[in-house]
Amino acid sequence: MRRTLAVTASLAATLLVTLPPAHADPAGAQPSRQEAYRSAAVKYGVPENVLLGVSYLESRWDTNQGLPSVTAGYGPMHLTDARTALAGSLPHHSEGAEDPRGDDARPPKPPTTSAPAQPAEAGSQTIDEAARLTGLPSEQLVRDPSTNLLGGAALLAEYQKELKIPASSDPADWYGAVARYSGAPDADTARQFADEVFSILEEGVSRVTDDGQQVSLPASPEIAPRMEQVDRLGLREAGSKSAECPKKLACEWFPAPYQKLGDAPGDYGNHDLSNRPRNQRIDYIVIHDTEETYDRTLKLVADPTYVSWHYTIRSADGHIAQHVRTKDVAWHAGNWYVNAKSIGIEHEGLLAKGGSWYTEAMYRSSARLVRYLAKRYDIPLDRAHILGHDNVPGTIPGNVATMHVDPGPYWDWGHYFELMRHPFTSTGGAHGGLVTIRTNYARYQPRYTGCDKVGADCPPHGSASVWLHTEPSEDAPLVKDIGRRPGGESTYDVSDHGARATTGQQYALAGRQGDWTAIWYLGQLAWFRNPHDHPTAVNATGLVVTPKPGTGDVPVYGRAYPEPEAYPKGVPVQAIVPLQYSIPQGQRYSVGLATRGEYYYAVTFDRATHTVVRGRTLYYQIQLGHRVAFVKADDVNIAPSSLGAPR
């Protein structure tokens, strides 16, 4: 049975935070952001649509409360100050006790990097140049959006001058300066950045920024940019062309080592050879963030004693490095079943600390890459198959609490899927039986704590997640996740997803009451605020599972392994261990895919011993909580979600 199900969604708000007003200029006037773009463009002789296009690709015109991106970019123009570049406390795969392989057939692989991150490495430094060109202090360029636009316009004008190209009013004459603005060290990435800007100019865009400003860029389909100008920049050509990427993306091959480390057959790193999809389907793409800078992330993946993933995407310009062939299995998700059937993509960024936003350039590169991989491997573009690392289930009860939580609530899943041309929309009526979460990311700013200090409120920020309560009230407790916090209450901590549902995830409808909607979640009735005038979910239809009558509570699993009799001689049987969750009678859960039990035995450096074990046991993948899980088909009934849906 082929396991796809469409996802749709629309969500809005619980614990909404009032958006800040537009920043007032020193004279007390409050020009609109649109007027500020126009004024900056006129002052420095840059076509207004070019300035708008560059700014959109950097920040989508958002201010991000003056906080820096992971590459220390500030404001709508992403003016960079490497002195304030951010770094995680620990690299992504060195944090916590999660074994990125998630394979019980071999000894656990403990974290290999436990020291705190070093000070940020030197990077791009455009804010000083912008200050010199404008005569304005760096502090003002950082905190004031209108001044930030002046700095960006001044840089573009300077780059045009350095290229010895007249300051034309024709946007086509600015292709080289736009490419230079990317800061990319190679010509391919600079071209990709400029191509994205000019595609934005061609299509046009209009949106409300994170501080409530309406900004529009009319479509200009007639522009024919002078692409040859990039040759004047003197940039190096990109490295190997052997990376598995769509043609228009700037990608390089930066291999992770497959290397024997000692004399023991299982002492090797840092991934496993395979022959996918000939020997196994690739069902998933897993989205990660690095919790580190791009440069140090590349150093980590090049370490044979560390772990691995397939791709890393740079924040500043969307450049992509591939490390592991997609046919091979990387060690990234903490669940061997998922690893064996997935591709892992790391994004330079931090889940929460200060610079908790991702550049549009990175979103666009990632969306193009995922769309390419999904088409190549027939992976449905929905949230049952495009998972965050925080959606991957633990394999056994003992490791549920240690599973990673990236990319977190600040990853804009709605925008991401729009870029992949699969937006979350309603696919059913009020009695369709399912809801798909969908927040208005820029305007929806729920409370989170713990970004900089445990228990302290995080700065207001757009979010893709809604909080889930035990009753239809913001004063009601959050629902519990007994796997993540055994015996403890869920919290509003930015890393605690035990009571959260996220954009694109699809749940079985359990009821409605006023502005509140109930879903089935981790064996509980969970309520989220979903007002009619600011919805946070849309109606949907699909398939649901319910426990078969008379079976009692149905066990759920973190992997879909074969039955014992399916294993050939010489391959140790992997235990089918239920998680600590179960599905009580009367509850319904959305189905994401169906699959037969499967296990990839690959525990030695010699690939000749690797074996794919296929069983007959049929599993359904369900949206159990924030993470997915599996149930055995023999334990449940499956039916259209509209049958028996709440009325």
SS3 636: strand
| Average pLDDT estimate for 242-257 | 93
Contacts of residue 3, defined as CB under 8 A and 6 or more positions apart, other chains included, come to 283, 384, 591, 592, 593, 594, 595, 620, 621
Give CATH for domain 33-85+120-233: 1.10.530
Reported as a single tens digit per residue, the pLDDT across 544-562 is 999 999 889 999 999 999 9
User: Which DSSP state fits 415?
Assistant: H
Residue ranges of the alpha helices (H) in 324-412?
A: 336-340, 360-377
- The answer to whether residue 7 scores a pLDDT higher than 50 is no
Predicted pLDDT at 114: 40
Query: Where are the domains positioned within the chain?
Result: 33-85+120-233, 241-423, 545-640
Q: Give the lowest-confidence range in 229-243, 329-343, 542-556, 627-641.
A: 229-243
Cα 193 from Cα 302, distance rounded (Å): 26
Reported as a single tens digit per residue, the pLDDT across 42-70 is 999 999 999 999 999 999 999 988 888 87
Angle, CA of 84, 90 and 94, to the nearest 5° = 155
pTM exceeds 0.75, yes or no: yes
Average pLDDT, the chain: 90
Predicted pLDDT at 117: 45
pLDDT band at 481 (very low <50, low <70, confident <90, very high): very high
Residues of the chain above pLDDT 70, percent? 90
Select the CATH number that applies to the domain covering 241-423 from these four: 3.40.80.10, 2.40.50.90, 3.40.50.1980, 3.10.20.600.
Answer: 3.40.80.10
As a whole number of Å, the end-to-end CA separation of the chain is 30
pLDDT band at 647 (very low <50, low <70, confident <90, very high): confident
Starting from the edge strand earliest in sequence, which strands make up the sheet with 386-388, in order? 251-253, 320-322, 311-313, 342-347, 284-289, 386-388
Reported as a single tens digit per residue, the pLDDT across 112-123 is 554 444 444 445
| Average pLDDT estimate for 431-456 | 93
Higher pLDDT residue, 124 or 413? 413
